[in-house]
Chains A and B, each alone.
Chain A
Amino acid sequence: MKQISIVSGKGGTGKTTLSGALNFLFQNNTAADCDVDASNLYLLLNPKLKKQYDYYGGKKAFIEQDKCIKCGKCQTLCRFDAIDFINEEFKINEYSCEGCNLCVLKCPVKAIELIDNRAGEYYLSENKKMKVIHGSLEPGEETSGGLVAEIRKKAIEVSKEEKTDYIIIDGAPGMGCPATSSITGVNYVIIVTEPTKSGIHDLKRIIDTTKHFKREFGIVINRFDLNIQNTELIEKFCKDNGIKLLGNISFDETVLKATQKQKSIIEYDSKAKEDIINIFNNLMEEIS
């Protein structure tokens, strides 16, 4: 079984469009949506929900007001600015608390305890072609990298049961914990970029991140014809640095129409579909 992850650095460059399409082009695969902040892949794959699992992230501190003597020691010691003083009471800011336990250890009257925190959920779903593992983080939660790890673990388990050859992972944007959790240990990373100055800036950072984690990778330039000059810059950058260019995808309004109907571009005969099939063929050569 091979794991292929699609990431981008900059958001909105077409990760989900490409990973949705690849999930239909591969013959025998499991899909995993690791963009848990903005989990959109299931909208394209349209699977039926089979099972739901709770995800518990890190714990959070809780102050028992009856016991608190308002000494303020917890607030002074907390390194995450997670203790507020509101209406004469010390309270944990649940968004800032990282659950480190320091305040619990240091409270002189043992008024603070750590409690479990349900930070999201993840699901096993299924359409006619494949099993889909996806999840969603409660808005505002941390530990999204942890949820990504759970989703990938479940995807591997399902792929082994179903004997699928590939897991196609829709990764998270950026280059922090959810993005890196989407690429650790995978067999191949596809980086999707766009020919904008922002796209080029972010591309370099995600390439460095991918190299940091020692993964093999190739580049796709989406909407390449929107700014040919910038596309040529990216192509030259890839060539100069010995980076594989898997292919370009045309700017094609069919993509928007397909997305609005919650369909993959693969279901519409279009220029973008041809481009993606070409990318798929190049990818197969790279990973086989």
Chain B
Amino acid sequence: MKIAVLSGKGGVGKTLVSTNLTNILSKYTKIELLDCDVEEPNSNIFFNFEFNKKEKINLLVPEIDNQKCTKCGLCADSCQFGAINVFNHGVMVFNSLCHGCGVCSIVCPHEAISEKEKSIGTIEYGQKNNIYFGQGLLNIGEPSGVKIIRTLKKHSKNINLQILDAPPGASCSVVETLKNMNYAIIVTESTPFGFHDMKSVIEICQKMGLKMGIIINRYDKDYTEIEEYLNKNNIEILEKIPFSKEIALMYSKGELISQNDKYKIIFQNILNKIGVVQ
């Protein structure tokens, strides 16, 4: 089973849920946790894995041979991302706009464009006891982590049981994380912000035909909108985690709250409801 943990809104408890579920599951079986929040990966704060395998992720960007280039401008016209400009005195490539698609080198009639590798980030893997861990890290100043997520998943151990900590939001990198998943756990909080952003990710999961369940974190019984909406739309609530200063403090120190028997049950309940453990 492959489970993605996502949230729409950031900071509502994705990492709390995915790290603690991993911790509980590792008592029973082998499990792989992949931190796909490559802009700001935080899962390893809670485990301190040492990495035995590192890989650089590169994008192929164009390199212009000015000897061969006739400044015909076909490359610039063909680039869908505005990453190449042709001026009287030469050609300029804007690497930060380049998606690495290769169109420019294909259309160049004079074979003046070759491709060179440019690093956009890294992926790293480690293991401790029953937990196999992988994370991606986007370089500062790079626009998109989609390729890093794709490679992180492809080069993982592909263990039967996987938990993926998704990036926040509801855009392309979230979709990349959700590909080939069997189940989505959506974490939200009892505020209009949480409610609004939860609806965006529910829509993605529905479009992708994914089974899903909701966790309401920092649950406040006086804010009823989320439950009303979920009941009306027949979407399962897996768990309500009350606001607790103790949880917040443990989290702030980088501790796994499921180490504490009082909170362990929360994550066992979630796993029971999804049907991972009986």
Q: Which of B107, B140, B176, B190 is within 8 Å of A105, CB to CB? A: B107
Q: Output the residue of A10, A38, A226 with the most chain B CB within 10 A.
A: A38
B251 within 8 A of A: yes
Q: Classify the secondary structure of A's interface with B.
A: loop
Cβ of A179 and Cβ of B140 under 8 Å apart? no
- CB-CB under 8 A from A137, the residues of chain B are 170-171
Min C-beta distance of B204 to chain A, whole Å = 5
- CB-CB under 8 A from A37, the residues of chain B are 8, 168-171, 197, 200
Cβ of A198 and Cβ of B197 under 8 Å apart? no
- Tell me, in angstroms, the Cα distance from A58 to B103 when the chains sit together: 15
A2 within 8 A of B: no
- Tell me, in angstroms, the Cα distance from A136 to B141 when the chains sit together: 24
- CB-CB under 8 A from A174, the residues of chain B are 10, 39-40, 167-169
B1 within 8 A of A: no
Beyond A38-B197, A259-B192, is A226–B9 a contact (Cβ under 8 Å)?
no
B126 within 8 A of A: no
B161 within 8 A of A: no
A108 within 8 A of B: no
- Tell me, in angstroms, the Cα distance from A180 to B257 when the chains sit together: 33
Beyond A81-B150, A137-B171, A195-B252, is A43–B99 a contact (Cβ under 8 Å)?
no
Min C-beta distance of B266 to chain A, whole Å = 19
Q: How many residues of A contact B (CB 8 A)?
A: 63
A70 within 8 A of B: no
Of all chain A residues, the one with the shortest Cβ separation from B107 is A105
- CB-CB under 8 A from B70, the residues of chain A are none
- Interface segment, A93-101, A151-159, A276-284? A93-101
CB-defined interface of A71-112 with B at 8 Å, one 1/0 digit per residue? Answer: 000000001110000000000000110111110011000000
- CB-CB under 8 A from B80, the residues of chain A are 58-59, 98-101, 114
Cβ of B138 and Cβ of A175 under 8 Å apart? yes
Which residues, 1 to 37 on B, are CB-close (under 8 Å) to A?
Answer: 8-12, 15
Q: How many residues of B contact A (CB 8 A)?
A: 63
A244 within 8 A of B: no
A262 within 8 A of B: yes
Which residues, 119 to 163 on B, are CB-close (under 8 Å) to A?
Answer: 138, 140-146, 150
- CB-CB under 8 A from A226, the residues of chain B are 245, 248-249, 252
Beyond A38-B9, A79-B102, A227-B249, is A180–B168 a contact (Cβ under 8 Å)?
no
Q: List the interface of chain A (C-beta within 8 A of B).
A: 8-13, 16, 37-40, 43, 58-59, 79-81, 95-96, 98-102, 105-106, 114, 137, 139-142, 144-145, 172-180, 194-199, 201-202, 205, 208-209, 212-213, 226-227, 230, 256, 259-260, 262
In the complex, 27 of the A-B residue pairs with CB atoms within 8 angstroms, ordered by the A residue number, are A9-B40, A11-B11, A11-B12, A12-B11, A37-B168, A38-B193, A38-B197, A40-B192, A40-B193, A80-B146, A95-B172, A100-B101, A139-B200, A139-B203, A142-B172, A173-B168, A175-B138, A176-B173, A179-B39, A197-B252, A201-B40, A201-B45, A208-B140, A227-B249, A256-B218, A256-B220, A259-B191
